[in-house]
Amino acid sequence: MIIITNDDGIVAPGIKALVEVARQFGEVMVVAPDSPQSGQGHAITLNHPLKLRKVNMFSGIDAYECSGTPVDCVKLAKSVLLKGKKIDLCVSGINHGANSALNIIYSGTMSAAMEASIEKIDSIGFSLLDYSFDADFEPAKYYVHKIIDSVLKNQLGLCKLLNVNIPACPLDDIKGIKVCRQGDGTWVEEFQEGIDPRGEKYYWLTGKFVSFEKTEELDNDINALKNKYVSIVPSGHDLTYHSEIQNLKFLEII
């Protein structure tokens, strides 16, 4: 059984592309948000109840839209819809836009995949570097197929989560795949300020991603993507800064 979800919402073309590929590998179930959830990170819904509605959107496939976040979708799929059933894989996406580098922590797409990986389910988040609704997912589908095939055959081992980003270009221009680390960079933010119809000031988030990578080495996803490689970052949920534990031991004797 393969669970499919995303953060752009169940009507996004990206999840349709992912369903088309994933269904070739066996039984699938779609549980995805009923509205766009970009930037929802690892949000879960605690303060109010969730709704699930069966939808007939992908011919011959069990599909549900959920009123919650991408992580809620995975929790409901596992604990309610597929309770006790073996889940072989969770795939999330194909996201409309990059989730490379730091974006993994803001991304609902990657957080949904991470949620499944926490449950020791092999999980892959796929993103295409094209934010438009009518992006061309055909080149991406070629790599999504290859990667799902290999993960199902080989299984992931200790690391249960892959962050896959795919350059937005014709298939022939993609140079291959790089398994690499999360690139270093940040968002330089601005808020567009304005006045709403009631005369109140508002702030609307906008920004530009800036890479901190100093070399052109392909050991990180920022550079791999810039050079037209598909990037795969093996990822986890241990946020400990292990190498600094010793250096901060002085805090034990304050």
In the complex with its own copies, which residue's Cβ is closer, 27 or 191?
Answer: 191
Residue 199 binds to its own copies (criterion: CB under 8 A) = no
Q: Does 159 interact with its own copies (rule: CB under 8 A)?
A: yes
Helices 13-22 and 138-154 cross at an angle (nearest 10°) of 40
How far is residue 231's CA from residue 233's CA, in Å, rounded to a whole number?
Answer: 6
**β-strand partners of 90:** 3, 123
Name which of 161 and 225 has its Cβ closer to its own copies.
Answer: 161
Structure tokens at 117: 């990986």
Q: Does 208 bind its own copies (CB under 8 A)?
A: no
Letter string b/e over residues 161-179, b meaning 16 or more CB atoms within 10 A of that residue's CB: bbbbbbbbeeeeebeebbe
Task: Specify the DSSP element, H or E, that contains 151.
Answer: helix 138-154
Taking the least distance from each CB to its own copies, the nearer of 22 and 60 is: 22
Q: What span, in angstroms and rounded, lies between the C-alpha atoms of 129 and 146?
A: 18
| Distance from C-alpha of 185 to C-alpha of 190, rounded to nearest angstrom | 16
Q: Token digits for 146?
A: 């290859």
59 vs 66, beta carbon nearer its own copies: 66
| 210 scored as a contact of its own copies (CB under 8 A) | no
Residue from 20, 88, 119, 136 that binds its own copies (CB under 8 A)?
119
Establish if 211 lies at the interface with its own copies (CB under 8 A). no
Residue 41 or 168 with smaller CB distance to its own copies: 41
- Cα separation, 31 vs 50, in Å, equals 13
Residue (59 or 247) nearer to its own copies, CB = 247
Other residues' Cβ atoms within 10 Å of the Cβ of residue 210:
10
Residues 12-31 that bind its own copies (CB under 8 A): none
Q: Residue 190: which residues within 8 A CB-CB, separation 6 or more?
A: 206, 207
Query: Does position 79 bind its own copies by CB under 8 A?
Result: yes
Window 41 to 60, contacts with its own copies (CB under 8 A): 41-52
Task: Rule CB under 8 A: choose which of 2, 76, 112, 174 binds its own copies.
Answer: 76
Site membership for its own copies, residue 243 (CB under 8 A): yes
Told to check if 62 binds its own copies by CB under 8 A, we report: no
Task: Determine contact, residues 62/37, Cβ cutoff 8 Å.
Answer: no
Segment near its own copies (CB under 8 A), from 19-27, 74-82, 127-135, 165-173? 74-82
The minimum distance between CB 214 and its own copies, in angstroms, equals 16
Does residue 178 belong to the site contacting its own copies (CB under 8 A)? yes
Strands 62-66 and 28-33: parallel
Establish if 252 lies at the interface with its own copies (CB under 8 A).
yes
Stretch that binds its own copies, among 14-22, 25-33, 40-48, 125-133 (CB under 8 A): 40-48
